[in-house]
Amino acid sequence: MKIIFIGRKTSKPKSISLALLILILFVLLLLNIYLVNYFFKNQELNNDSILSNFKLIEDVSHNRQSIDVYVEQIGELHSRILDIDQQTERLQDVMKKQIFGKKKLPKLNKKNKLDGKGGPFLNQRVSDGDIQKTLEMLMVNMKVREEIYNKMEAMLLKQSVLKETLPSLYPVDVPYSSSSYGWRMDPILGKRAFHEGVDFSAAHSEPIYATAGGIVEKAGRSGAYGNLITINHGGGLQTRYAHISKILVKRGDIVKKEDLIAYVGNTGRSTGPHLHYEIRLNKHSLDPKQYLRR
């Protein structure tokens, strides 16, 4: 079958086959589909690019806001440390005049004192590294102040009515050579955590002694402490002995200073045999090394 085209010159008509006409129409259709797809695909890429740029700007803005918040909090913490220093100095003056006379009190070294200089961070780029360094510096300063506070607290307690009941004996016959009281790297989690006692790296089954006389308040399993003994010494004062392998006392028992109460173990949240030892006053932990003596 052929299609005949008749132009102005009718003497020479032109013809085209139906198959060729269908082929031409098919090619035109494919070309049209390609152009439409190209248009929409290109439009989608442009939209994605705009969206990604928007997200990038949004993330940068969010990070900037986060840094500004950190800077503001660091400033507040710095100001709070200055206030604590002033209060500590006033308390030291009172203690020296009214309680201790000429006895030497712990004081801050010049290198650990913070000054009041500073100002707003105007048109100043502050990086994550700057914030990290500042936080580390503040942590060091806080640790120094904690040491002074713990020493002053111990001096006050030793002058108080509780001085005769303070636990001063070593609970095991070894010096504490493991984790001390205060902030440290947690051996299991691998991040900074506050350690509320001291650890004695004693061997398994090493004898544990009561560091002061009192009444056994708890003797049994207690979560991360493992096997735990808590002794109440009166006046809100108590001692804790954790990770025990064998308990030799029971709740309600009256114990005297130097009584054998248990053996060292590796129970609870522990990475090896040791004794975790705490002193608490009204549920607030004290630094045991301020009270231990041979």
Cβ(194)–Cβ(183) below 8 Å = yes
147 and 208 together in one domain:
no
Note the pLDDT of residue 293: 75
Range of 283's domain?
Answer: 182-290
Q: Of the ranges 23-27, 258-262, 285-289, which one carries the lowest mean pLDDT score?
A: 23-27
Given 159, 191, 215, the domain boundary residue is 159
| Beta strand pairing call for 237-247 and 227-234 | antiparallel
Query: Which H or E run includes 285?
Result: strand 284-286
pLDDT confidence tier of residue 126, bands split at 50, 70 and 90: low
Q: Is 283 domain-assigned?
A: yes
Whether the CB-CB separation of 245 and 267 falls below 8 Å is answered with yes
Label residue 33 by pLDDT band (50, 70, 90).
low
Phi-psi region of 223 (alpha: psi -120 to 50; beta: other; left: phi over 0): left
Cβ-proximal residues to 206 (8 Å cutoff; 6+ apart), any chain: 172, 173, 174, 263, 264, 273, 275
Residues 148 and 64 occupy one common structural domain: yes
| Angle in degrees, CA 156, 157, 160, rounded to 5 | 90
Whether residue 170 is contained in a domain is answered as: no
Tell whether pTM > 0.75: no
Task: State percent of the chain over pLDDT 90.
Answer: 26
Domain boundary among 92, 124, 159: 159
Q: What is the pLDDT of residue 52?
A: 57
Are 277 and 200 spatial neighbours (Cβ–Cβ below 8 Å)? yes
pLDDT in the model for residue 100: 64
Same-domain status, 214 and 261 = yes
* The total number of structural domains that make up the chain: 2
Average pLDDT of span 77-98: 73
Give the mean model confidence (pLDDT) for residues 263-282.
92
What's the mean per-residue pLDDT of the chain?
A: 75
**Co-location of 101 and 154 in the same domain:** yes
| Residue 52 located in a structural domain | no
pLDDT higher than 80, residue 266: yes
pLDDT of residue 246: 97
Nearest to 205 by CA among 128, 252, 148, 262: 262
Cα–Cα–Cα angle for 244, 184, 178, rounded to 5 degrees: 45
Torsion on CA atoms 57, 59, 61, 63, rounded to nearest 10? -150
For the chain, the first-to-last Cα distance in angstroms comes to: 119
- Contact (Cβ atoms closer than 8 angstroms) between residue 237 and residue 281: yes
Q: Does 221 map to a domain?
A: yes
Residue 103's pLDDT is what? Answer: 65
| 8 A C-beta contact, residue 275 and residue 241 | yes
pLDDT at residue 116 is higher than 60: no
Query: Domain containing 265 — which CATH number?
Result: 2.70.70.10
Same domain, 193 and 283: yes
Q: Is there a single domain that holds both residue 102 and residue 190?
A: no
Average pLDDT over residues 157-180: 78
Asked, for residue 194, whether it belongs to a domain, the answer is yes
105 in any annotated domain? yes
Task: Check pLDDT > 60 for residue 2.
Answer: no
Q: How many CA atoms lie within 13 A of 191 on its CB side?
A: 1
> How many angstroms separate the CA atoms of 67 and 61, rounded?
10
Which stretch of DSSP H or E encloses residue 37? Answer: helix 18-95
pLDDT tens, residue by residue, 9-19: 555 555 555 56
The verdict on 107 and 200 lying in the same domain is no
Domain match, 67 and 149 both: yes
- The least confident of 53-62, 89-98, 169-178, 215-224 is 53-62
Query: 48: helix, coil or strand?
Result: helix
- Residue 107: how many other CB atoms lie within 10 Å: 12
pLDDT of residue 229: 98
| Lowest model confidence (mean pLDDT) among 135-139, 212-216, 270-274 | 135-139
Indicate whether 217 pLDDT > 80. yes
pLDDT at 55 over 60: no
Q: When comparing pLDDT for 140 and 178, which is higher?
A: 140
Q: What is the pLDDT of residue 190?
A: 61
Same domain, 95 and 189: no
Q: Is residue 42 part of a domain?
A: no
Asked whether residue 88 is assigned to any structural domain, the reply reads yes
DSSP state of 53: H
Asked whether residue 233 carries a pLDDT value surpassing 70, the answer given is yes
Residue 43 to residues 30, 38, 39, 54, Cα–Cα distance (Å): 20, 8, 6, 17
